[in-house]
Chain A
Amino acid sequence: MSKSRATRGSNLDSDRALSLLTMMERIRAFEEQACLAAERDKLVLGAIHPSIGQEAVAAGIMQAVNPDDFLLSTHRGHGHTLAKGAEPLAMMRELLGRAGGCCGGKGGSMHIADFNVGMLGANGVVSANITIAAGAAHSMKLQRDSRVVVCIFGDGAINRGPFLEGLNWAKVFDLPILFVCEDNQYSATTRTSAMTAGDGAAARARALGLVDHTVDGNQVEEVADIATQCINRIRSGGGPEFLHAITYRRTGHTSFDPAAYRPADEAVQHEQRADPINRQRELLTLAGKDKSELDRIHTQAQQEMTDVLQQAAQSPFPDPALALKDVQDIGSPEQELR
């Protein structure tokens, strides 16, 4: 087990730091708009699962990979997808089930995919992406391709069988993959610690022989540093690694969930103490950046995503015939929609 070093203001790469802040602000703004779309505008048919408070994991990990590397994500994957390079308008249309979405409106929030940016799919089933990611990494190895795979899943996933099967597979075949347990401490509405035996995620990975790391998932600089080191080792043939990034889910399980099952002030306290955006702003301020510059990043992100929602909301729904298309190459069912 290794710990990443604390990053200090004095040796901060300010370009990278600003870029990380910008991405976190964009993710936050995107999801705030998505929540408004769901709750205020009733435009999301079904649930969305926000990652508000967890943006440092998405931004930090994704700055460490190349545009053509692969990502597999979860039902809480808007941040990962945006940070991987997907267009926010196409993403928002996808969340709203509209034409012009990344998947033509058929994937939705939980099954969003954008192969053009190496995003091989979010997945609505906890831990299902782990086995698929192992296969993608296997493919890279068999084809002697230098791309690496990042597979992000939540803390709930470590209690499902495919976690064991996927990690074991990756180690047995020595694959180029970084597993990231984005630990927001809740499995849907239950505290994960109450449902998890033993020493948790990293210990389980270690037991399978993976190199494991634990990082403060609310410190984007630390996440970015350690992810960069991991990806470099993995790309040069070092085999699979495991990163346990501990963060916190500010919202309920879905945007509609008031999270009444946890102490009333838990989320507020966490926001005051460990909000990843506030922390990054403080770091940049210490490094001499002007508050107005940081505020401008915030305002621009807010404006960008407000426009995105507005445009997405005006996009048409897909042709209903699409519901019966893309089943198999032998053609779509011929009966009419009922």
Chain B
Amino acid sequence: MTTLTMVEAIRETLRAEMLRDERVILMGEDVGHLGGVFRATDGLRQQFGAQRVFDTPLAESVIAGSAVGLAISGLIPVFEMQFLGFSQNAFHQICQQIARTRFRTRGSHTCPITIRAPFGGNVRTPELHSDSMEPQYAQGTGLKVVMPSTAYDAKGLLASAIRDPDPVLFLEPLRGYRLVSDDVPDDDYTIEFGKLRVMREGDDITIVTWSASVPVVEQAVEQLVAEGINPHVVDLRTIVPLDEAGLVAAVEKTGRCVVVHESPAAAGFGAEVITLLQEQAFYSLQAPLKRVTAPDAPYPPPGIEGHYIPSSELVVRAVRETLID
């Protein structure tokens, strides 16, 4: 067992997967010589050579498009989008080429591709460097969307992603790269997709969240517990596939629910969660379902981003309102 930051856990998992399977290659902007702008691939080019870890042009559509060709002819590409916001330049390749190869070929060929992309705000970087856009990719049917919040989960989920026969978008919360650290087993393990993590058992209200919003919710929980409120808290870990049964059970337990995420509200993934609960947990509900999200506005300049990202105060307020209803 070793205490690792999230970015260290990601790097060590990449290293382990490359040692395990020589078909795994890493590519992306600045991932080779520099070792990645966030050091996620630091030292891997030196260890595995330029054939397996290489820099690419600043050209997202060919990074993603070439991954299809690499994957359908025998390799397992893991590529980095330097920021999730840049991935929109490759939206077509990701959602309409990578994600649909299995479907189009009647299952004869799949794309074992892992797309790593840091995302999320509160790191003093402007606008498209901080965008949370997981709901856009959640509609890219054929693509899995994995969103760890701890170093432990990052290791197990990334190992699962690289070993998956299908494409996985692996979203890494930028703010968590170094702020989040926890105990990570040295031995190999994987975490199954579509299984949420119960962060805290409680009876009063269920809080549903994932990835970058997990630390915000943890902070809110401290406050709530101090007020005598006992929340049940779950981290979805993967939004595609979604742990529907786990989610319904978690909300049926308390009859109340607040969903917290960092992307804007309209058509955000919280809307999907709430719809599912309305469909499958309706008769257990004791209060309206509530969301705490970013507002429906572009990500703001760094100096005022604190007003944009959902805060623990907003989460506490939403919980109180839901308990009164």
**In the complex, which residue of chain B has the Cβ closest to the Cβ of A326?**
B107
Contact flags (1/0) for A296-338 with B, using CB distance below 8 Å?
0000000000000000000000000010011111100000000
Give residues 71-126 of A contacting B (CB, 8 Å).
72, 103-107, 111, 113, 115, 120-121, 123, 125
Judge whether A257 is part of the interface by a CB distance below 8 angstroms: no
Whether A330 lies near B67 (C-beta < 8 A) is no
Give residues 132-188 of A contacting B (CB, 8 Å).
132-140, 142-143, 149, 161-162, 164-166, 168-169, 172-173
Judge whether A242 is part of the interface by a CB distance below 8 angstroms: no
Give residues 191-242 of B contacting A (CB, 8 Å).
193-194, 241
B68, B73, B106: the one contacting A103 at CB < 8 Å is B106
Whether A136 lies near B69 (C-beta < 8 A) is yes
Chain A min CB distance to B99 (Å): 9
Whether B97 lies near A139 (C-beta < 8 A) is no
Judge whether B42 is part of the interface by a CB distance below 8 angstroms: no
Whether A162 lies near B110 (C-beta < 8 A) is no
A115, A123, A168: the one contacting B59 at CB < 8 Å is A168
Whether A143 lies near B103 (C-beta < 8 A) is no
Whether A115 lies near B105 (C-beta < 8 A) is yes
Judge whether A130 is part of the interface by a CB distance below 8 angstroms: yes
Q: How many CB-defined contacts (below 8 Å) exist between A and B?
A: 137
Judge whether B164 is part of the interface by a CB distance below 8 angstroms: yes
Whether A128 lies near B65 (C-beta < 8 A) is yes
Whether B165 lies near A103 (C-beta < 8 A) is no
Report the Cα distance A121→B104, complex, angstroms.
9
Interface size on B, residues (CB 8 A): 45
Contact flags (1/0) for B81-101 with A, using CB distance below 8 Å?
000000000001100110001
Report the Cα distance A247→B227, complex, angstroms.
77
Give residues 246-304 of A contacting B (CB, 8 Å).
none
Q: How many interface residues does chain A have, given as a range?
A: 35 or more
Judge whether B123 is part of the interface by a CB distance below 8 angstroms: no
A107, A140, A327: the one contacting B73 at CB < 8 Å is A140
B59, B75, B103, B193: the one contacting A165 at CB < 8 Å is B59
Whether A131 lies near B103 (C-beta < 8 A) is no
Most chain A CB atoms below 10 A, which of B57, B68, B194, B241? B68
Judge whether A30 is part of the interface by a CB distance below 8 angstroms: no
A residues within 8 A CB of B104? Answer: 103, 106-107, 111, 113, 121
Judge whether B9 is part of the interface by a CB distance below 8 angstroms: no
B68, B74, B107: the one contacting A325 at CB < 8 Å is B107
Report the Cα distance A46→B164, complex, angstroms.
34
Whether A104 lies near B61 (C-beta < 8 A) is no
Report the Cα distance A130→B65, complex, angstroms.
8
A residues within 8 A CB of B69? Answer: 72, 120, 131-139, 149
Chain A min CB distance to B145 (Å): 11
B residues within 8 A CB of A169? Answer: 56-57, 59, 62, 66
A residues within 8 A CB of B61? Answer: 131, 161-162, 165
Which residues of B pack against A, CB within 8 Å? 25, 51-52, 54, 56-57, 59, 61-62, 64-75, 77, 92-93, 96-97, 101-110, 141-142, 144, 164-166, 193-194, 241
Which residues of A pack against B, CB within 8 Å? 70, 72, 103-107, 111, 113, 115, 120-121, 123, 125, 128, 130-140, 142-143, 149, 161-162, 164-166, 168-169, 172-173, 322, 325-330
- Beyond the given pairs A105-B106, A120-B69, A140-B73, 15 more chain A to chain B contacts, judged by CB atoms under 8 angstroms and listed by A's residue number, are A115-B72, A115-B105, A120-B72, A132-B68, A135-B73, A135-B77, A138-B69, A162-B61, A162-B65, A169-B57, A326-B102, A327-B102, A327-B142, A329-B110, A329-B165
| Minimum-distance CB pairs A-B, first 9 | A131-B65, A135-B69, A135-B66, A136-B69, A104-B106, A165-B62, A326-B107, A139-B73, A165-B59
19 A-B pairs within 8 Å (CB atoms) are namely A103-B106, A107-B105, A113-B104, A115-B105, A115-B108, A121-B105, A131-B62, A131-B66, A132-B69, A134-B62, A134-B65, A135-B71, A138-B66, A140-B73, A142-B70, A164-B59, A327-B102, A328-B166, A330-B193
